[in-house]
Structure 1
Amino acid sequence: MKNQKNVLIHLSCWVLMVVYIYIGQLLKGLKTDILYFNYSVFVVHLIEFYICYLWVFPRFLKKGKGLYLVIGLCIAMGAFIALRYMIEQVLFSYFLGFQNYGPDTTMTFYIIDNLYYGSSYIFLAAAVWSVQNAFKSDKLNKQLKDEAIKAELSFLKSQINPHFLYNTLNYIYSLAIPVSDQLASAVLRLSDLMRYTLAESTDGKVSLAKEIDYLQSYIELFRMRFEPNFYVEFELTGVTEQQKIASLLLIPFIENAFKHGVLNEPEHPVRIQLQLQDKQLFFSVSNTINNHQKDRSSGIGLVNIHRRLDLIYPDKHELNIVRKGDVYQTTLVIKL
């Protein structure tokens, strides 16, 4: 619907431009050759505009893409000059018997002259794309604020007093020590999980190392519950203390694997891989599907995960969810 609206707006503007050209020529005295030239340069301008609007500026008008931006603009300008030459100097001359530039015009003069005529629609494309992108950014910022407010309200409604929770868990831990070291350890891990879940940060992001500690504590709680028949492999590569990530973003993928996967087969363990390379996070979770699982839901919070990724990491993430036979694999790539 939104794309259709944009198409209609663009189409309306160009139709008005065509009418404007025709009326202007009509007032000056309708000359067929000049009218042909006006419309031919308009068509070539249109092609140049959309090369910049749909490809050059969206892809390369970003930090660190300066060289590619210059190359893209040169391609757009080259297309304008080449197409105009082909239409007005070759096709018009062959089919209509006239051409725009005289036969004595040198190629150097032709290129320099058209650098002037071709630049206007490049600036127009830059202006249109920048204004549209600014509106899009404003809308996204508003969505982020709305989501933050909703999350805060939801949190406040469901929040248990953290001090009460921690004191209670510490008390249970003290009771568990004489009874069972394993039970005490489980209570301690649960306390750490709850503390991390309720922790706050100014920007909603935490140290990647802390997020990994949370994942490992979660896995260890399950290991206590199901061992010795619990087979999970967790592989870490290149993790540093400096990197940050949105909190509790990775845990739903592990929750899904534990909920819907097979955990007790050594031949088919749940495989979790987390790799950090060149400021890019690669996170993969694969598991064999438990066909005896009664809960056939599509997964814990996958819709919310997509939403959070779109809001927090727009154009900086890639999420692929694939099922091959009995194997379910999720791969997430984030540019941190």
Structure 2
Amino acid sequence: MKQKTILYHVTGWLLVVAYDLISIWRGGGQNVRVTMLLQFSFCLSMASVFYYCFLLVYPRFLKTGKFLWLIPALLLVPVVFSIIRYLFEQMLYPVLFNVSNYYGDVNLWYYLLDNLFYGVSVTVVSAAIWSAQQAFNQQQENKSLREEMIQAELAFLKTQINPHFLYNTLNYIYSLAYPVSEKLGDAVIKLSQLMRYMLTESAGKDVELQKEVDYIENYISIYQLRFEDTFFVDFKTEGDIAGKRVASLLLVPFVENAFKHGVVNDADRPIRISLKVVGNRLMFTVSNQISRAQKDHSTGVGLPNIRRRMELIYPDRHELLISDNGQTYKTTLNINI
């Protein structure tokens, strides 16, 4: 897509320059060569103004709403135009072709005043093309987002085979397990709560943060059954999470990856999970000692998928930081919720 855009721009400017030069050549008259040279430098100056606005001014100030900076940036358009034209017509051409546009003692200030309004038209054209490109990119992004949402919905529907069957089966297993082992019965209940959250309560766009915390706690409890007394995880929550909402199943992939690739049986260096809420700011941190043992090849959520989901759900409202010093792996997620 980027290569096509560059090709379109190059083709457009070649057509503009070719049209101007051919028009001058066909018009004939004296000093056709000089006129063509001056028109060529004029076109280069216009192109410089175009891309000064297209690549620098509009993306940095117009797109971000920094209008106080936009005005002085646009006031520099005549300066950009005049400098480029001056370099060609008063410095380069006299050396190469013994030709210049202005004769006599001409300084850059005079050049600026004499070319004050030439760049205005191309500034408007640049704004129109930049706006059209932004609208096209937004349309493509919306189309991609709709397709991803459809795929996500289909994937979710596949998990909805028959949740009532699963709940009823787990309740039956609980009734059989509890008389034998209270610990096993509690594990079945926690597993049932995990399944219910995944299959029903997480279907919406977001959920109560407390439910996400409960899910993580149940997830840790289920995982602990495998290691019993050799499982060391420190999970802390701070701040007022009541009434706060977050995208469902957003935080548990970080916990899952820590369990999958980390060391869970070292009491001196436990897996540390911290969830802190300050105002509307959620800070979620997971750190773990990196395991040197053979990795679990079970299916998990990869970092690229996590990043993409963040971009879709919290565009410009999140920060994902990752540090890896070879001994400890740490992820920090900050979200404005």
TM bucket (normalised to shorter chain) is 0.7 to 0.9
- Gapped runs of 5+ residues in structure 1? none
Partners of 1:127 and 1:18 lie apart in 2 by: 20
Match of 1:217 in 2: 218
Say whether residues 1:44 and 2:67 are aligned partners: no
Match of 2:18 in 1: 19
> Which SS does the other structure have where 2:287 is aligned?
strand
Match of 1:206 in 2: 207
Q: Tell me the CA shift for residue 299 of structure 1.
A: 5.3
Q: Tell me the CA shift for residue 319 of structure 1.
A: 4.6
* More off after superposition, 244-253 vs 173-182: 173-182
- Would the aligned equivalents of 2:261 and 2:295 in 1 still touch at CA under 8 Å? no
Q: Deviations 1:13-56 (Å, cap 9, x if unpaired)?
A: 11112101201222343544443332223212222222322233
Q: Tell me the CA shift for residue 257 of structure 1.
A: 1.0
- Would the aligned equivalents of 2:48 and 2:84 in 1 still touch at CA under 8 Å? no
- Would the aligned equivalents of 1:81 and 1:118 in 2 still touch at CA under 8 Å? no
Compared CA separation, residues 310 and 112, structure 1 to 2 (3 A): same
Partners of 1:280 and 1:221 lie apart in 2 by: 29
* More off after superposition, 162-171 vs 5-14: 162-171
Say whether residues 1:130 and 2:131 are aligned partners: yes
Compared CA separation, residues 275 and 37, structure 1 to 2 (3 A): farther
Match of 1:261 in 2: 262
Q: Deviations 1:153-188 (Å, cap 9, x if unpaired)?
A: 333333233334334444555565555554444333
Match of 1:158 in 2: 159
Partners of 2:329 and 2:133 lie apart in 1 by: 39
Partners of 1:241 and 1:63 lie apart in 2 by: 33
Matches within 5 A, 1:58-73: 58-62=59-63, 64-73=65-74
Q: Deviations 1:206-229 (Å, cap 9, x if unpaired)?
A: 344433332233223334553432
Match of 2:232 in 1: 231
Compared CA separation, residues 261 and 178, structure 1 to 2 (3 A): same
- Would the aligned equivalents of 1:252 and 1:300 in 2 still touch at CA under 8 Å? yes
Q: Tell me the CA shift for residue 197 of structure 1.
A: 1.2
> Which SS does the other structure have where 2:117 is aligned?
helix
Match of 1:191 in 2: 192
Compared CA separation, residues 79 and 27, structure 1 to 2 (3 A): same
Compared CA separation, residues 67 and 206, structure 1 to 2 (3 A): farther
* More off after superposition, 6-15 vs 326-335: 326-335
- Would the aligned equivalents of 2:271 and 2:289 in 1 still touch at CA under 8 Å? yes
Matches within 5 A, 1:1-336: 2-29=1-28, 31-62=32-63, 64-75=65-76, 78-88=79-89, 96=98, 98-100=100-102, 107=109, 111=112, 114-173=115-174, 180-199=181-200, 204-223=205-224, 225-236=226-237, 240=241, 244-275=245-276, 281-295=282-296, 300-313=301-314, 319=320, 321-334=322-335
Q: Which amino acid aligns with 1:231?
A: F
Normalized against structure 2, the TM-score is what? 0.79
Q: Tell me the CA shift for residue 117 of structure 1.
A: 1.9
Compared CA separation, residues 58 and 35, structure 1 to 2 (3 A): same
Compared CA separation, residues 143 and 240, structure 1 to 2 (3 A): same
> Which SS does the other structure have where 1:291 is aligned?
coil
> Which SS does the other structure have where 2:273 is aligned?
strand
Q: Which amino acid aligns with 1:189?
A: K
Normalized against structure 1, the TM-score is what? 0.79
Compared CA separation, residues 14 and 287, structure 1 to 2 (3 A): same
> Which SS does the other structure have where 1:13 is aligned?
helix
> Which SS does the other structure have where 2:119 is aligned?
helix
Over the aligned positions, Cα root-mean-square deviation in angstroms equals 3.7
Partners of 1:74 and 1:211 lie apart in 2 by: 51
Identity fraction in percent: 48
Compared CA separation, residues 295 and 220, structure 1 to 2 (3 A): closer
- Gapped runs of 5+ residues in structure 2? none
- Would the aligned equivalents of 1:284 and 1:331 in 2 still touch at CA under 8 Å? yes
- Would the aligned equivalents of 1:209 and 1:239 in 2 still touch at CA under 8 Å? no
Q: Tell me the CA shift for residue 85 of structure 1.
A: 4.3
